[in-house]
Amino acid sequence: MSLRPQPPLPPVPEDTARVAQTAFRRGNPYLLLRTCLGPIFADAAFADLYPTRGQPAYAPWRLALVTLLQFREGLSDRQAAEAVWARIDWYRKYLLGLDLTDPGFDSSVLCEFRGRLLARILDAARDQGVLKAHGRQRTDSTHVLAAVRDLNRIELLAETLRAALNAIATVAPDWLRGVAPPDWHERYDHRIEDARLPETGPKREAYVLQVGADGYHLLDAPDGASAPPLAATLPAVAVLRRVWARHFMRAGDDPDIGAGVRLVPVQGPGPGDRVETPYDSDARFRAKSGTDWTGSTVHLTETCDPDLPRLVVRPGHARPRDPPPDRRGPPGLALRARGLVGPVRSLRRRSR
C-alpha cells in the first residue's frame, strides 16, 4: 500500500452536510468536532508509514479518526467498519467527509493501520532509550467477557435452532415457509429464554428430542433440489451443524431415518467443539485462578528491564483452542524487524 496525500483535505460534501444537519437539529458532538476543529489529522503526518509505490492506501487521517472514536465507543473493528457506512454523524457521513454513497472499507484495514502506528511508536521508544534491543519481556493473560447471556444446555440447543431459522428467513423466506411445519412457529417464534420450558421429567426429555429432530429436519432440507444455495452456507447454519454434531446422534446417522434421535452426554472437547451461544461462536467457557467466565483470553507482553518504563509491546487475542502466543502477526513482526525481541518469561497460568 502506498500513500498519495491530496492536500487540502476535502470538505464535507453538500449532501452529507444537509442530511446530517437535518438529522441532528439539536446538535451532535461529532458534528461539532468537525465544525470547530476540522479533520484534526492530515495525511502528511503519516507519510513515513507507507512506501512510495503500490496500491493507494485508504486515507490514514480518516483511519486515525475512526481509531479514536472506535476506542471512545468501545467498538470492535467490524462494528467500526460497519459504522463507517451506517452512521450519519461520525464515521461515514460527516466527520470523515465522505459521500452518502461511499462504501467504506474492510475491517482488516484498521488492524493494518494500527500495525503501522505500532511500528512508529516502537521506533520512537527505541530512539528515546526506553525500549532496548533484546531486552527482558514477560507475558501474562487476562480474560475478555463475551457480550452474551449464559445459556443452559436446553436453551443453547433451542436458541441455536431459532437463530438458524431467523438467518434463513432473511435470505429465503418463501423456501423456509415450505420447509417449516406449522408447529415450529409456536416453538421458535420467540426467544427461548422467554418461553416456559418443561422443568423435569418425561416432558423435558420429549422437548429436547423434538428440538433435535427439528434441527436435523432443517439441516437435511438444504440438500433438496429446490433449496437455495445460500441457505446451506449461512454462518448460523454452520453453527447449528456444529452444535448438533456435539449434542445429538441419529441411529445409523442416516438422513433418511426420521426417528432414533437421542441426546448424548458431553464432557470436554468433542465433535463440533464447544459452542456456548449461537450469537458468538468463538466464545468459550474458561476458568483461571478461581474465576470462570464465558469469552476469550488476551495475552499481553510487556518490557521488564530494570530502571526503565514498562511498555506493552505485543498484545494478542487468543481464539478458542489456540496455542500459546508466538511472535507472529503485526506486533511480533514489528519487534523482530527492529531487533527488539528479547527473552520472554511467561506468567500465564493454565486456563481452559
Find the angle CA(312)-CA(314)-CA(320) to the nearest 5 degrees: 125
Same domain, 296 and 236: no
Same domain, 235 and 296: no
Grouping H, G, I as helix, E, B as strand and the rest as coil, residue 346 is strand
Domain's final residue, options 233, 263, 293: 263
Same domain, 323 and 299: yes
Same domain, 79 and 158: no
Q: Which three cell numbers stand for residue 157?
A: 440447543
Region for residue 214 given its phi and psi (left: phi exceeds 0; alpha: psi -120 to 50; beta: otherwise): alpha
CA 68 to chain centre: 18
89: nearest Cα among 10, 14, 12, 20: 20
Same domain, 139 and 161: no
Question: pTM for the full model?
Answer: 0.58
1 within some domain: no
- The rounded radius of gyration (Å) of the Cα atoms in the chain is 26
Q: Which residues pair with 269 in a beta bridge?
A: none
268 within some domain: no
Same domain, 140 and 171: no
Same domain, 164 and 223: yes
182 within some domain: yes
The structural domain count of the chain equals 3
Amino acid at 343: P
Q: How far apart are CA 105 and CA 111, in angstroms?
A: 12
* φ, ψ dihedrals at 130, nearest 5°: -95, -5
Q: State which residues form the domain around 102.
A: 14-118
Same domain, 252 and 342: no
284: nearest Cα among 124, 125, 143: 143
**pLDDT, position 8:** 66
**pLDDT, position 321:** 53
| pLDDT, averaged in runs of 10, over the chain (352 residues) | 69 81 78 74 79 80 85 84 70 72 83 82 78 77 77 88 92 89 88 79 88 92 78 89 90 54 72 75 79 80 81 67 47 57 52 45
128 within some domain: no
**pLDDT, position 344:** 53
